[in-house]
Amino acid sequence: MLSRVANSIYWMCRYIERAENVARFIDVNLNLLLDMPAEESKQWSPLIMTTGDQALYEKKEQAYTQEDVIWFLTFDRGYSNSILSCVSAARENARSIREIISSEMWEHLNNFYLELIKEEAIKMAIQEPNRFFKIVKMRSHLFTGLLDSTMSHGEAWNFARIGMMIERTDKTSRILDVKYFMLLPEANLVNTPIDNIQWISVLKSASAFEMYRKEFHRITPTNVANFLIFNKLFPRSIYHCLSKAQDCLHRITGSTNGASTNPAEKRLGRLMADLEYTDIEEVIEAGLHEFLDDLQTKLNQLGGEIGTTFFNIRPLKSSTLSEQ
């Protein structure tokens, strides 16, 4: 398929996944507020930290109030990772590949955007935030469902999935990093109800609470990290996402598991091997933050390798192509 098309479908899915995660983070935080009596700014600043765009937020001289944070993360067109910016970018990508994706996907995404720019959308986000962010999440789920059930699972679909899985890995690692970093220092709170609520919110931010319960009964920081990094079956764990991305990459190139025919496969293969031969104890001992930081760097490199391998190819010199 065309390199430009592969690039567009990859980014379309990354943006939708990104929008969904922002919606989930806000939603979880809203619920957390109900259980945690504290001053407002303390509850909304961690959310901005999770995005990694704290400097940008503060440059705008906004306070950490619920309304300002929600507006920034949801509707600010000047912020490239706001929900509106993400959905808009996804839609622009979709528009350039309408003939590749199904019309159901396009119509849904188009409608997603058109609803978001309505005056009523802002009103609902402020007045009924729970309802609003639930709708955003459901629209993203619907998009993923349409991707899976209305489009052939060929090369384009595999690029779509890779984009989605890499974005998801990034978001899970980020939420874990920020929360772990934030929560652990308060040693006197360990095992208090407040501490529990905080860790539950970490799990909820990755929609992982219920599935975690089936695996481990008690909430401990190590088990939470273990589950979100190493669980093989949970669809938002880092291991699971990367392994799915690897499957898709192999399907695109036709190489078998364990073999690698290009730099992107090589990079992802190494990353998977690292995860296979590490466990949570080793990670904690070496420092969770360091581990996640390193993972983020490698994810960025992987994104770059995928770009140069598939999206920005330049032709060989014409003499080397000629067989005459």
| Contacting residues toward other proteins, per CB under 8 A | 1-4, 6, 92, 95-96, 98-99, 103, 106-107, 110-111, 114, 155, 159, 252, 310-311, 313, 315, 318, 321-322
Q: Which two tokens stand for residue 181?
A: 């970093």
Give min distance, CB of 315 to other proteins, in A: 6
Give min distance, CB of 274 to other proteins, in A: 27
Burial classification of residue 63, based on how many CB atoms lie within 10 Å of its CB (0-12 exposed, 13-18 middle, 19 or more buried): exposed
Nearest to other proteins of 69, 160 (CB atom): 160
- Which of 118, 113, 104 is CA-nearest to residue 82? 113
Consecutive H or E run containing 21: helix 3-35
Concatenated DSSP letters for 275-293? Answer: HHT--HHHHHHH-HHHHHH
The count of residues in the chain is 324
Nearest to other proteins of 60, 98 (CB atom): 98
Contact yes or no for 102/109 (Cβ under 8 A):
no
204, amino acid identity: K
Nearest to other proteins of 256, 318 (CB atom): 318
Give min distance, CB of 60 to other proteins, in A: 24
Nearest to other proteins of 2, 259 (CB atom): 2
Instruction: Give, rounded to a whole angstrom, the gap between the first and last alpha carbons of the chain.
Output: 27
Nearest to other proteins of 2, 286 (CB atom): 2
Give min distance, CB of 159 to other proteins, in A: 8
- Integer Cα distance of 108 and 17 in angstroms: 15
Nearest to other proteins of 202, 252 (CB atom): 252
Give min distance, CB of 241 to other proteins, in A: 22
Give min distance, CB of 123 to other proteins, in A: 21
